[in-house]
Amino acid sequence: MEFIALTITAMVPFLFVAQGTMLSGRAGIFNVAQEGLMLLGAAVGYLVSLAVGSNTVGIVVAGLAGAVFGAVLAWATTYLRMDQFVVGLALFFLAGGTASLLYRVVIGNDEPPRIKPLPDVLLGQDLLVYLAIALSIGLWWWLYRTDAGMRLRSVGENPKAADSLGIDVVRTRMVAGTVGAALMAVGGAYLPMVFSGVYADGIVAGRGWLAIALAFFGGWRPQLILLGSAFFAAMDVLAQRAQVLGIGVPHQFVSMLPYVATLLVMVVAFRWALVPQFLGKNYDRESRIVG
Amino acid sequence: MSTAVLARPSAGERARSAAVAAVPYVLAVLAAFAIVAVLIALLGHDPAKAFRAVLTNSFRTPTGMVQTLQKWVPLTLLALAFAIPLAAGRFNIGGEGQLILGATGSVAVGITLSDLPMVVLLPLSILAGVAAGAFWAGISAWLMERFRVNEILSTVLLNFVSFEILDYVASVVWSDPGAGGAVTLPIGEGAVLPTLGRPPMHVGVLLVVVLAAVAAVLARRSVAGFELGAVGLNERAARLHGIRTGRVAVLSMVVAGAIGGLAGAIEVMGVHQRAIEGMQSNFLLLGIIIGLIARGSLTAVPFVAFGIAVLEVGAGSMQRVSGAPVEIVLILEGLILLFILMSDVVMTRRRRSRAKAAS
Mean pLDDT of chain A, nearest integer: 84
Listed by start position, the domains of chain B span 66-310
Q: Say yes or no for a CB contact (<8 Å) between B168 and A89.
A: no
Per-residue confidence (pLDDT) for residue B3, from 0 to 100: 47
Per-residue confidence (pLDDT) for residue B210, from 0 to 100: 92
Q: Report the residue of chain B nearest A90, measured CA to CA.
A: B334
Residues A20-56: tens digit of each pLDDT: 999 999 888 898 889 899 999 999 999 998 888 888 8
The least confident of A35-44, A190-199, B137-146, B207-216 is A190-199
Mean per-residue pLDDT for B91-105?
92
Mean per-residue pLDDT for A97-120?
80
Three-state secondary structure readout of chain A: CHHHHHHHHHHHHHHHHHHHHHHHHHCCCCCCCHHHHHHHHHHHHHHHHHHHCCHHHHHHHHHHHHHHHHHHHHHHHHCCCCCHHHHHHHHHHHHHHHHHHHHHHHHCCCCCCCCCCCCEEECCEEHHHHHHHHHHHHHHHHHHHCHHHHHHHHHHHCHHHHHHCCCCHHHHHHHHHHHHHHHHHHHHHHHHHHHHCCCCCCCCCCHHHHHHHHHHHCCCCHHHHHHHHHHHHHHHHHHHHHHHHCCCCCHHHHHHHHHHHHHHHHHHCCCCCCCCCCCCCCCCCCCCCCC
Range picked from B25-29, B205-209, B260-264 for highest mean pLDDT? B260-264
Percent share of chain A, pLDDT over 70: 95
CATH class in words for A2-268: mainly alpha
Mean pLDDT of chain B, nearest integer: 85
Q: Say yes or no for a CB contact (<8 Å) between B149 and A256.
A: no
CA distance A221 to chain B (A): 16
Residues B128-174: tens digit of each pLDDT: 999 999 999 999 999 988 888 888 888 988 999 999 999 888 888 88
CA distance B315 to chain A (A): 13
Range picked from A137-141, A144-148, B6-10, B314-318 for highest mean pLDDT? A137-141
Q: Say yes or no for a CB contact (<8 Å) between B153 and A212.
A: yes
Nearest to B157 among A105, A262, A273 (CB): A262
The least confident of A265-269, B62-66, B274-278, B302-306 is A265-269
Q: Is the pLDDT of residue A234 over 80?
A: yes
Q: Residues of A at the B interface (Cβ-Cβ below 8 Å)?
A: 76, 80-83, 85-87, 89-94, 96-98, 100-101, 104-105, 206, 209-210, 212-213, 216-217, 250, 252-253, 255-256, 259-260, 262-263, 266-267, 270, 273, 275
Q: Is the pLDDT of residue A211 over 70?
A: yes
Q: Say yes or no for a CB contact (<8 Å) between A85 and B91.
A: yes
Nearest to A86 among B164, B335, B341 (CB): B341
Q: Is the pLDDT of residue B80 over 90?
A: yes
Per-residue confidence (pLDDT) for residue B1, from 0 to 100: 43
Listed by start position, the domains of chain A span 2-268
B288 neighbourhood in chain A, CB within 8 Å: 89
Q: Report the residue of chain B nearest A252, measured CA to CA.
A: B164
Q: Could you please state the CATH topology (level 3) that the domain comprising B66-310 is classified under.
A: ABC transporter involved in vitamin B12 uptake, BtuC (1.10.3470)
Per-residue confidence (pLDDT) for residue B6, from 0 to 100: 58
Q: Say yes or no for a CB contact (<8 Å) between B337 and A216.
A: no
- The ipTM, to two decimals, is 0.82
